[in-house]
Amino acid sequence: MGQPKQLLQLGGRPLAAWSLEVLARADNVTAIVIACESVDVAAFEQLARDFGCGKVREVVPGGARRQDSVFAALRRVPADAGIIVVHDGARPFAGVDVLRQVIESAGKSGAAIAAVPVKDTIKEVNEHNTVIRTIPRERLWAAQTPQAFARELLLAAHEQAEAAGFVGTDDAEIVERFAGVMPSVVHSTYENLKITTPEDIIVAEQLLSARAAGASPCA
């Protein structure tokens, strides 16, 4: 993307500001820790002042991989936190209702994720780009964030993953593998897209223009 995608402009503010606003407005989120590239700490500290509604506890340097960054932030979370929420700074349109449901579900089961049913037909392909099989999609869901976990469960799973040199695609996979806990799924929306390519920014701008003008971030 040519620069940290979380700092790209969307609707007149940095992309991560939209994600931060969702967390900051949630009544059941009491403290926020942001992990980012070391060179971007100052930019995210300013972002926290502008959009964090006083909930941002700390901005910490992340690591080389997403997993390393989550682990770095996790180690700075208050010890008395019961549930930890992990959310991508590049998902600007997560709903407060989905966030609340994910937290409530994790409080009951220990782990929960936002996800949506897969709409496309999924093909398994070999190294020669030949289809091996078509995978039935009736039980396939695309995982998103927010994802929420009992603090001790997530911390122990990350510690074990680091010791084993295991790299997961998301925190749910790490918990599944090392804690043996299968997360509950909360039905999210397809608008909760992750900005990964320049085309995603175009889609996000279109979604934003279709929404009514929002109130003050901390209202």
Return the bridge partners of 111, or none: 149
First to last CA, the chain: 32
pLDDT for res 215: 47
**Which tokens belong to 137?**
């999609």
Say what angle helices 66-74 and 171-179 make with each other, to 10 degrees: 70
**Which tokens belong to 61?**
């340097």
What homologous superfamily does CATH list for 5-210? Spore Coat Polysaccharide Biosynthesis Protein SpsA; Chain A (3.90.550.10)
For the chain, the domains span: 5-210
pLDDT for res 175: 98
pLDDT for res 5: 80
Residue 43 CA: distances (Å) to CA of 31, 54, 100 = 19, 16, 28
pLDDT for res 100: 96
Find the DSSP H helices in the chain: 15-25, 41-51, 66-74, 96-109, 151-164, 171-179, 198-210
- List, for the chain, all residue ranges whose pLDDT scores fall below the cut of 70: 1-3, 212-219
User: Mapping DSSP to helix (H, G, I), strand (E, B) and coil, where does residue 84 land?
Assistant: strand
pLDDT for res 3: 63
State the pTM of this model: 0.91
